[in-house]
């Protein structure tokens, strides 16, 4: 998605921001439709960007149309065709594009009928490195900026920009087809697709930009796509596990932010949790247990099930949480899993034991690492060190609600 456009003339910035919010919400659907129609990422992104410019010019005066997604798709499609027509060297592509357009409704849907999910599978082609598949899909489907994707991967923005550029070039050089995946392709690309849907959901739930601290359009889209995927692969327990993890997390969304400030799990009003989603998530976790084929997302969902089953934070079964994290390390022995496990250890064995587990973790660029250290140090009465750790956490996060929460906790230090 293009970075924020700031025209030197035109509507007031508040109107521009409103248009951009609609555009961002529609971006994944728009790109998926354009890629399927024209078979080219650059054409899709350029046409989408031009449609945004037209919307910025027209919508503040005429109002947002009743079907903004349809308006953007039509406008972007027309701009793409105009661009192709102007390029005489691409006459063959022009004819092919028009032919695709004319036969869109007759195209066989194949096993994946949803345009956006089809694009996820396409971007998860084996010709691309795993990190490139994920980054490219987050860019195209989630509408995330390069900076947001870089933050999700804990790499510099320039590194991520190069990674996405190389992925596009690889697609062009390898002539990767923009086609409906065959049924046999689905299992081999599943891990990449699940990772993409997990990261899109996380970006919505832990938004890194300066706007809303939670981006419901991203969490909702990730859940929708995971539901579609489960319909395609109902016997894949990791798909069921990811859906369980998403709905159990989404169930707590309304309680997570209050007055612009993050509310941690132990301070949340559990009466405001969405009980229907919690019940669905628990049912999905029990379904996973019956298959007895544990995996990363199933275990993460089970941990969330333990938390959402407790009447209060103090009632949480921390021994079970630690046991589940022990199991998770066999699938994902990452420093972040060690960090999260240490949070549970602190509840059972005390902050000093937990601090010893995390002090040397290679997570100095991760705000949650500093936030956990700050909390543990504060509980040990080491206020000066805790203050420094809170400063590091505040500097490392781009989420406004988290910054507000961390500033409050820092101010409460004695």
Identify which of 108-117, 131-140, 328-337 has the greatest average pLDDT. Answer: 328-337
Q: How many CA atoms lie within 13 A of 224 on its CB side?
A: 14
Q: Calculate the average pLDDT of the chain.
A: 84
Identify which of 148-157, 198-207, 266-275 has the greatest average pLDDT. Answer: 266-275
| Residue 128: predicted pLDDT | 83
Which residue has better confidence, 362 or 171?
362
Q: What is the mean pLDDT of residues 72-78?
A: 90
| Residue 181: predicted pLDDT | 66
278 pLDDT more than 60: yes
First and final C-alpha spacing in the chain: 45
Q: Buried b vs exposed e over 244-275: b needs ≥16 C-beta within 10 Å?
A: bbbbbbbbbbebbbeeebbbebeebebeebbe
16 pLDDT more than 80: no
Closest CA to 331 of 371, 299, 372: 299
Identify which of 49-58, 161-170, 233-242 has the greatest average pLDDT. Answer: 233-242
Closest CA to 36 of 188, 170, 136, 140: 140
Contact 406, 264 (CB under 8 A): no
Task: Render 40-54 in DSSP notation, one character per residue.
Answer: -HHHHHHHHHHHHHH
| Residue 67: predicted pLDDT | 87
| Residue 110: predicted pLDDT | 54
Q: What is the mean pLDDT of residues 37-55?
A: 86
Question: By mean pLDDT, which of 220-234, 272-286, 314-328, 345-359 is the weakest?
Answer: 220-234
Please give the Cα distance from 377 to 209 (Å, whole number).
28
| Residue 328: predicted pLDDT | 97
Please give the Cα distance from 239 to 237 (Å, whole number).
5
Residue 263's φ and ψ, nearest 5 degrees, are: -115, 110
Please give the Cα distance from 407 to 392 (Å, whole number).
11
Closest CA to 7 of 71, 73, 63, 52: 52
Residue with tokens 């028009």: 98
Please give the Cα distance from 237 to 29 (Å, whole number).
27
pLDDT band at residue 20, thresholds of 50, 70 and 90?
A: confident
| Residue 93: predicted pLDDT | 55
Q: 216-232 and 13-38 helices cross at what angle (nearest 10)?
A: 20
pLDDT tens digits, 152-190: 777 889 999 998 988 888 877 777 666 656 777 777 788
Which residue has better confidence, 309 or 53?
309
Which residue has better confidence, 405 or 119?
405
Q: 258 forms bridges with which residues in the sheet?
A: 261
Where do the domains of the chain lie?
Answer: 1-107, 235-333, 334-414
Contact 393, 367 (CB under 8 A): yes
pLDDT tens digits, 238-252: 999 999 999 999 999
Q: What is the mean pLDDT of residues 3-18?
A: 49
Please give the Cα distance from 336 to 349 (Å, whole number).
19
The torsion region of residue 276 among left (phi > 0), alpha (psi -120 to 50) and beta comes to alpha
The topology under which CATH files domain 334-414 is 1.25.40
| Residue 95: predicted pLDDT | 55
């Amino acid at each position: 998605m293009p970075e924020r456009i700031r025209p030197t003339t035109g509507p007031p910035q508040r109107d521009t921001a409103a248009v951009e919010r609609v555009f961002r919400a529609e971006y994944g659907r728009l790109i998926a439709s354009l890629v399927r129609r024209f078979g080219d990422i650059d054409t899709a992104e350029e046409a989408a960007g031009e449609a945004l410019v037209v919307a910025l010019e027209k919508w503040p005066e005429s109002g947002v149309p009743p079907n903004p997604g349809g308006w953007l798709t039509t406008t972007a499609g027309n701009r793409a065709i105009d661009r192709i027509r102007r390029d005489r060297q691409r006459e063959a592509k022009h004819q092919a594009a028009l032919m695709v357009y004319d036969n869109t409704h007759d195209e066989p849907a194949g096993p994946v009928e949803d345009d956006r999910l089809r694009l996820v599978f396409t971007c998860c082609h084996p010709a691309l490195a795993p990190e490139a598949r994920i980054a490219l899909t987050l860019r195209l489907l989630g509408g995330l900026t390069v900076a947001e994707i870089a933050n999700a991967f804990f790499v510099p923005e320039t590194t991520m920009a190069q990674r996405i550029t190389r992925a596009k070039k690889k697609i062009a050089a390898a002539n990767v087809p923009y086609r409906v995946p065959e049924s046999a392709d689905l299992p081999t690309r599943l891990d990449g697709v699940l990772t993409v849907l997990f990261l899109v959901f996380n970006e919505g739930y832990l938004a890194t930009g300066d706007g809303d601290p939670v981006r419901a359009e991203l969490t909702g889209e990730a859940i929708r796509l995971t539901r579609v995927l489960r319909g395609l692969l109902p016997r894949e327990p990791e798909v069921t596990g990811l859906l369980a993890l998403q709905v159990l997390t989404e169930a707590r969304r309304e309680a997570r932010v209050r007055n612009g400030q993050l509310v941690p799990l132990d301070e949340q009003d559990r009466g405001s949790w969405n009980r229907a989603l919690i019940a669905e998530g628990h049912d999905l976790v029990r379904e996973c247990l019956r298959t007895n084929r544990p995996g990363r997302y199933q275990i993460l969902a089970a941990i969330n099930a333990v938390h959402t089953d407790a009447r209060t934070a103090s009632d949480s079964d921390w021994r079970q949480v630690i046991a589940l994290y022990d199991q998770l390390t066999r699938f994902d022995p990452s420093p972040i899993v060690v960090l999260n496990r240490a949070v549970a250890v602190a509840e059972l064995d005390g902050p000093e034991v937990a601090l010893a587990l995390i002090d040397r973790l290679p997570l100095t660029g991760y705000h949650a690492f500093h936030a956990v250290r700050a909390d543990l140090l504060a509980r040990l009465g080491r206020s000066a060190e805790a203050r420094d750790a809170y400063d590091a956490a505040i500097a490392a996060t781009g989420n406004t609600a988290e910054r507000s929460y961390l500033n409050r906790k820092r101010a409460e230090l004695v």
